[in-house]
Chains A and B, each alone.
With several copies, the nearest count.
Chain A
Amino acid sequence: MPEVAVAVRELTLGEAVKEALAEEMRRDPRVFIIGEDVAEAGTTFKVLTGLVQEFGPERVLDTPISEPGFTGIGVGAAMTGLRPVVDIMFGDFAGLIMDQMANQAAKVHYMSGGRWKVPMVLRTTLGATRRSAAQHSQSLHAWFCHIPGLKVVLPSTPYDAKGLLKSAIRDDNPVVFYEDKMMYKLKGPVPEEEYTIPLGIAEVKRMGEDLTIVATSSMVQVALGAAKLLEEYDVSAEVVDPRTLWPLDEETLIESARKTSRVMVIDEGYERYGAGAELTTVIQAGAFYDLEAPVKRIGAMHVPIPFSPPLEDATVPTEASVFQAAMALCGRKL
């Protein structure tokens, strides 16, 4: 038989997200989408275009600009037989819904002694450098990670986004799902066949020997880029993506740290009191005796995100800055 070269299908991250939603909505009539401009407009980022046509306005609902209210409606709907996917346009609006998420969604199951469940997904965005200024550029996932009862997912590729979102929708707990706005157009292979990725499993995105770069969401791409630059200097970087910050696959992180003995943690949230601090804490606790140097944690600068392009660009980790920090961590001069 002649060999047939099967072209791997490529989707953008936005398309992968939409496909996950569409498949789950076909599979389970309880799943529905609720948020601002999600129907005809298909969201500001045009990620959901076409879903209202397939599933109708009863399952793809445009809301008023009432984030606390429709998030709360999501919680109640989840408790009573539906599986809402709540759309919060910009992750910066987290400030409006923390009561609904942290005091209601996260706690209902526990407070009721396990008798009510909240199978709901909150989809939202993170990421800067779109020149959207201080109130539309933040990566505030650390807030949700801090709250027991929530799960938090940060995919870094179209493949992961689809597989993880499907698992999030099938999960019986409130799951916060983060999409990087700058990655919506990022392409990657996504098979046509059904698959899911379980929550709580990190993935080594690149094997390496000399140092480990633990990176989240868009920072995985930055880390991979930096790893390529490092290669030219014969520094072999392993890139590990936790994929879900809660549950957290500590083992994979620690194993890699033990192997390479030098670790950087890169996250796009504000550096101080951010997600990177937890990853650092876990790694130093688990790999301390194998580490040659302290864990180097890098996040966004501790400033509100400025509008002006040269200033904004200075606030987030880049391939160049990660590369430089990695070289320093390995004791290498430039």
Chain B
Amino acid sequence: MTTAPVQPGVSEDQARALRLYRKMLAIRLFEERVNDLYTRALMPGLAHLYIGEEAVAVGVCEALHRDDYITSTHRGHGHCLAKGAALDRMFAELLGKEAGYCKGKGGSMHIADPDTGNLGANAIVAGSAGIATGAAFSAKRLGNGRVAACFFGEGALGQGVVYEVMNMAAVWKLPVIYVCENNLYNEYTHMSETTAGDPMVRAAGFGVHAESVDGQDARAVYSVTAKLVEHARRGEGPVFLWANTYRFAGHHVGDISREYYRAKQEETLWKTERDPLKIMTAWLTANRVADATWLDRAHSEIQAEIENAVQFALAAPYPAPEKVVEDVYA
């Protein structure tokens, strides 16, 4: 990812926008390739694609240090990549190969990586709320200045443990950022059918400072997160970010016919009007930070990286069967 900006002497804000764009694009193309691998029966199991929600992960992670922590979800590829995971080891994990981040033992829903502070994706909805809060607890106790960002979908608001740990984080002023990705659906059920009251008020009720943001605008996500991270890092306690977004594809790769739970028009509207990549492209070009040539080059460079990564992963060996009994105990 080395493309130079369209003009030298860009501002910090502009350089960041270019970075955010490239990261979002990498996630988008990664996920499209995942879908392709699944469709061609080259990938075992299922995957939950992050397409449409890229601005949230990249905006949040842009505001984090490399050694800050994140926890992720079943829809985790975007979070992992945004936090710095390499494409090849990501694909290798998704294919169950030894070269993957978890030696193939974790798969799509369990990618973890200590090197980038990734405590792990999690297949239990809200399953990592405790872990992220515990990481923030360590950071505070050890005084290492780190924060923990806990990603979860709005569906996780149904799980009581989220409130338990928010409460403790507030009582103990732990540096944790709860990032709620409101993509409107808990699987195949609209959040309005499952969620009473107001999530922002909920957070406040537990003493957690809350903000909301347009989750399709990576720059906006970055700005508000940067502010919230500072709040947490300063020791002022946990924060809650309500990011409004949308998943463009199915709940998972096999969720093709979606008309029974959401209208085609709704999908089309989001894809045409609210695509985070389009929104960023518009900003980059309007502000003359990037032009078509730069954008094309970025696309083909990332595409090539992804292709290499996929080839690496496809060629990589599976773990030897006897590895199955390793790593049960440390």
Chain A residues proximal to chain B, CB less than 8 Å = 32, 36-37, 39-41, 44, 58, 61-66, 68-82, 84, 92-93, 96, 99-100, 103-104, 108-119, 130-136, 148-149, 151, 172-173, 301-304, 306-311, 314-315
A113 and B135 contact, Cβ closer than 8 Å, known pairs A64-B186, A314-B321? no
Q: In the complex the two chains form, what is the Cα distance from A116 to B100 in whole Å?
A: 15
B168 adjacent to A104 (CB under 8 Å): no
A135 adjacent to B122 (CB under 8 Å): yes
B8 within 8 A of A: no
Q: Which of chain A's residues have a CB closer than 8 A to the CB of B120?
A: 108, 111-112, 116
A82 adjacent to B330 (CB under 8 Å): no
Taking the closest CB of chain B, its distance from the CB of A76, in whole angstroms, is 2
Q: Which of A119, A131, A133, A149 is packed against the most chain B CB atoms within 10 Å?
A: A133
Q: Which of chain B's residues have a CB closer than 8 A to the CB of A69?
A: 129-130, 133, 158, 160-161, 164-165, 167-168
Looking at the complex, which one of A41, A62, A309 makes contact with B194 (CB distance below 8 Å)?
A62
B112 within 8 A of A: yes
B132, closest chain A residue (CB): A76
Taking the closest CB of chain A, its distance from the CB of B102, in whole angstroms, is 4
B131 adjacent to A72 (CB under 8 Å): yes
Question: What range describes how many residues of B lie at the interface?
Answer: 35 or more
Q: Which of chain A's residues have a CB closer than 8 A to the CB of B22?
A: none
B138 adjacent to A81 (CB under 8 Å): yes
7 contacts between A and B (CB under 8 A): A66-B168, A69-B133, A72-B130, A76-B130, A99-B127, A114-B103, A135-B127
Q: Which of chain A's residues have a CB closer than 8 A to the CB of B124?
A: 92-93, 96, 99, 103-104, 135
Query: Per-position contact with A for B145-181: 1 when CB-CB < 8 Å, else 0?
Result: 0001000000111111100110110011000000000
Q: In the complex the two chains form, what is the Cα distance from A301 to B161 in whole Å?
A: 30
Q: In the complex the two chains form, what is the Cα distance from A242 to B246 in whole Å?
A: 47
A59, closest chain B residue (CB): B141
B327 within 8 A of A: yes
Q: In the complex the two chains form, what is the Cα distance from A301 to B322 in whole Å?
A: 12
B158, closest chain A residue (CB): A64
Looking at the complex, which one of A80, A112, A314 makes contact with B102 (CB distance below 8 Å)?
A112
A73 adjacent to B165 (CB under 8 Å): yes
A70 adjacent to B168 (CB under 8 Å): yes
* Residues of A contacting B: mostly: loop
Taking the closest CB of chain A, its distance from the CB of B61, in whole angstroms, is 18
B96, closest chain A residue (CB): A308
Taking the closest CB of chain B, its distance from the CB of A114, in whole angstroms, is 4
Q: In the complex the two chains form, what is the Cα distance from A58 to B148 in whole Å?
A: 20
Would you list the 7 A-B pairs with minimal beta carbon distance, nearest first? A72-B130, A76-B134, A69-B164, A307-B107, A131-B45, A64-B158, A308-B96
B112 adjacent to A74 (CB under 8 Å): no
Q: Which of chain A's residues have a CB closer than 8 A to the CB of B122?
A: 104, 135
A136, closest chain B residue (CB): B123
B113 within 8 A of A: yes
B328 adjacent to A303 (CB under 8 Å): yes
Q: Which of chain A's residues have a CB closer than 8 A to the CB of B156?
A: 65
Q: In the complex the two chains form, what is the Cα distance from A96 to B158 in whole Å?
A: 13
Query: Per-position contact with A for B1-44: 1 when CB-CB < 8 Å, else 0?
Result: 00000000000000000000000000000000000000000001
Q: In the complex the two chains form, what is the Cα distance from A30 to B171 in whole Å?
A: 21
B159 adjacent to A32 (CB under 8 Å): no
Q: In the complex the two chains form, what is the Cα distance from A112 to B108 in whole Å?
A: 11
Taking the closest CB of chain A, its distance from the CB of B160, in whole angstroms, is 6
Taking the closest CB of chain B, its distance from the CB of A70, in whole angstroms, is 7
Taking the closest CB of chain A, its distance from the CB of B261, in whole angstroms, is 6
A36 adjacent to B45 (CB under 8 Å): no
Q: Which of chain B's residues have a CB closer than 8 A to the CB of A74?
A: 130, 134
Q: Which of chain B's residues have a CB closer than 8 A to the CB of A132?
A: 45-46, 123
A111 and B112 contact, Cβ closer than 8 Å, known pairs A36-B186, A72-B129, A73-B133? yes
B71, closest chain A residue (CB): A76
Q: In the complex the two chains form, what is the Cα distance from A114 to B104 in whole Å?
A: 11
B326 within 8 A of A: yes
Taking the closest CB of chain A, its distance from the CB of B176, in whole angstroms, is 9
Q: Which of chain B's residues have a CB closer than 8 A to the CB of A104?
A: 122, 124, 127-128, 130-131
Taking the closest CB of chain B, its distance from the CB of A210, in whole angstroms, is 30
Looking at the complex, which one of B157, B159, B261, B319 makes contact with A311 (CB distance below 8 Å)?
B319
B256 within 8 A of A: no
Q: Which of chain A's residues have a CB closer than 8 A to the CB of B127?
A: 99, 103-104, 135
B139 adjacent to A80 (CB under 8 Å): yes
Q: Which of chain A's residues have a CB closer than 8 A to the CB of B46?
A: 131-132
B131 adjacent to A304 (CB under 8 Å): no
A63 adjacent to B137 (CB under 8 Å): no
B165 adjacent to A116 (CB under 8 Å): no
